[in-house]
Structure 1
Amino acid sequence: MTYSVAVAGASGYAGGELLRLLAGHPEFEVRTVTGHSSAGQPLIATQPHLRSLAHLTLRETTPEVLDGHDIVFFALPHGASGALTAQLTNVRLAVDCGADHRLTNAADWAKFYGGEHHEAWSYGVPELLTSTTGSRQREALIGATRIAAPGCNASTVALSLAPGIAAGVIAADDIVSVLAVGPSGAGKAAKTHLLGAELMGTANPYAVGGTHRHIPEIQQALRGAGARGDVTLSFTPVLVPMSRGILATSTAKLAPGVTAAEVRAAWVNAYAEEPFVHVLPEGEYPRTADTLGANTCLMGVVVDEAAGRVVVVAALDNLAKGTAGAAIQSANIALGLPESTGLSVDGVAP
């Protein structure tokens, strides 16, 4: 069976990555692409690398244009998709790559985003350990009709720490995460701090001091993995001069009496059968370069004995596994397709 697909926000980075992956999906056919200011232009005017989709023209992003497709992927800024999704009446599966349907708590939405809070959808991180829907979040995705793809930073940190939380080998009350992030995660809009001249040769912290919008999403995911009490997180992202990628270094307190062998076993056992999340051999740590274009999250785990903390270093492509890949992987599960359909573990090098 071939599923008809529409992509809203097709002119942006996330929309472009969705289309790149969808173009190679054997069961999905992209029939409609939409934009805002780009409506009326050929798709390749904004996504010149997508030559196989050169026949498509960007249309207005309206419910009437999107309705009637089997699947609609939304790649819109936060606050833009919620009103649209509420007006869809004839769509089998909607997948939102924005933030509008991620948070269950309206107070979190008001604090970090503002505006109207929309219903939370099934969270699109299949590998995430959870104590409420069985062993994995993928069980909540089977047969889903509405899916919230994750924030790229949020899923990187949640996947990094959930095994330790679920196994009880780390505490959740003193987590520190520092992330090196490519600027494509900030979107395609022209902003001075994202210009090449402002980024080359420097590293720039942003959203410092507990203000980043992915913090409540990470806390929500770790509570779902079994965290008891408050999940306290110091989260600091840093823009670095690479177009794609996230390298997240997360540390948490080691639980009393837990050995390094038990720590490693928690992560290895959690992801041993996962096709897209790989724990590297002991003493090895990932590079963002090894994940570019792939639907993979690579991580290394070690115990800092002197500090009494577990250190997890995780890498992924923020546009692939962090956003578009997670969305398509989750859609595959929802529709009963093999989970890896249209997705690759092989990156691009050099």
Structure 2
Amino acid sequence: MKISQVVAPRTSEVVEVDDPQPRDDQVLVEVVASGVCTSDLGPWLGHDPGRPPVRLGHEMVGRVVAAGRDAERWRPGDLVTGLGGEGFATLAVMDAQAILPVPAGIEPAHAIGEPVADLEEALSRTGVAAGDRVGVVGLGFMGLGLVQLVRRHAPGLLVGVDPDPARRARALRLGADLVFAPDELPEEFRSATGRRTEARLDAVLEATGVTAGLTTAGSLVRPFGRLCVVGYHHTGDAVMDMDLWYKAVTVVNGFCPDRTRLMVAMREVLDLVAQRRFSYAPLVTHRFGLDQVDDAFAAMHRAGADFVKGVVVP
């Protein structure tokens, strides 16, 4: 089989290795699509060439080739998605209890279960109800996914915030009612005092992964509202705005370390995909071959106006 591995900063190579063998509770899949995730950007940008190569790609869709003794409910030819790893490859193994079938009639690249399951699981703990005024700060892949997921809860108002006009335009097409650049937010949305609090938001979902975005998100939440931190804040310190404390805001950690909860969320999202109530079609903007993994990460890092999500198709 072929697999891409990071050998130095911003440098990957495709190598030939032995085919992996599934354990009793695993399946072997032919990888047909693997999403490029922001959480893998750090290893790609800064890998130490003196250390062993790193193999990335956990947002997988694959076609079952073989199943272990305890995974016989899966048959060769089944198209599945789930929680995986080392997916920038032609073959990979996946745990049989961490995969689900791809809905019939859906293109594999439009049925990647893992990233949207993360969003749905975080949203399920934020408590968005019909009629709520909801904000999404950061309108990249995660933010635009959240716009779609929030929309089905019938919010009274759905506001998107991002400095990029192309991203704001996409959010409007996907169901946002209003969009703003961070420095153009009306005063009634972001006042830190008690004045005009009726216009501030019941729930805000932060999807930027940077402190400035977190600050903007916190400023939008009303007293006793909810702030869900969905963005990847992997390095340094995320400074807490003490105004959240004095507003009695509930802060929700959008990260979920529990596979069972993620699989429940993934099943919900794949049902939405099957019903055409959630679509990857406007989100997957770039496709790359296995020998173009560096191009995929570079495109994500640049985050140009035409980029939302890249997928590697071996």
Normalised by the size of structure 1, how large is the TM-score?
A: 0.28
Larger strand share, 1 or 2: 2
